[in-house]
Amino acid sequence: MFNFAFAISCVVVALAGGSFAATKRGLAFADSDHTGDIAVADDTQVSWVYDWGSTVPSYLRNTDMTYIPMQWGEDDANDFMAEVQAQNAKTILGFNEPDLSSQSNIAPMTAASLWVQYIQPLSAQGVRLGSPAVSSAPSGIPWLSQFFGNCTECTFDFIPIHWYGEGLDDFKDYVESFYGKFSLPLWVTEFASTSSNVSEVEDFCTDAIAYLDSQDWIEGYAWFAFYRQESGSYYNLLDVNGQSNTLGDIYLHGSNHQ
């Protein structure tokens, strides 16, 4: 079988000049109130960023991180191809949690029709296609299975997945079961520990990124999220002033710097 992970890692290393781990590590970032915070991630293990949108944000222009555009939902799907071409993007992400009514909320058959018309043609232009990213709720895998069944003309280079929960074993079980079912490379584009114990979250992040870096069928991953500390949250990578906290040091630099 062709090793998609090795091929893409070679390309991004050439572009970013980073290590193998750096080719995988990304950021989920959409804090419109503190866009300057992105500078904290420059010259770290992070090599790519997405913000659930499709247009390169101005705050990335002076960084060495690659922007990955996403077609979030049905709206403006007809414009997506032109936006991808205009920025010469080489990788895209598909619909965001279409299995949930609170997210992009698209029926599998409708999503397949949109994909064939507005996204699949990008493959012939050399763009790598990430499938729709379903949630880790019980509706996620059945939705994706129905989508693939309705999108027999479609091709996918990888599957983005999401996971929230507690414990490395549960995380690994979910990721590996997903890969076992669909047999395509994965990007874990949202994941985090939901524990309210700060030390547990930090330990989970340390162990999770080591695991993700060690699997050649996992091409990319992005912790949720690159936000400032908020009341009741334990997964933010930044403190209240927009500086890297202990968890941020673990994720951005690959180790605890304290």
Q: Are residues 151 and 198 in the same domain?
A: no
CB 97 within 8 A of CB 135: yes
Q: Which domain holds residue 36?
A: 1-67+161-178+190-258
Residues 6+ apart with CB under 8 A from 209: 21, 25, 221, 250, 251, 254
Structure tokens at 5: 């992970």
Q: Are residues 25 and 39 in the same domain?
A: yes
Q: Are residues 104 and 44 in the same domain?
A: no
Q: Are residues 126 and 12 in the same domain?
A: no
In a domain, 185, yes or no: no
CB 94 within 8 A of CB 46: no
Model confidence pTM above 0.85: yes
Q: Are residues 146 and 40 in the same domain?
A: no
- On average, the pLDDT of the chain sits at 90
In a domain, 151, yes or no: yes
> Which residue shows structure tokens 């997964």?
235
Residues 6+ apart with CB under 8 A from 152: none
Q: Are residues 61 and 170 in the same domain?
A: yes
Longest dimension (CA), the chain: 51
Residue 232 has what pLDDT?
A: 81
In a domain, 213, yes or no: yes
Q: Which element (helix H / strand E) includes 186?
A: strand 186-193
Residue 249 has what pLDDT?
A: 97
On the 0-12 / 13-18 / 19+ scale of CB atoms within 10 A, 125 is: exposed
Q: Which parts of the chain have pLDDT scores under 70?
A: 1-22, 255-258
Residue 223 has what pLDDT?
A: 98
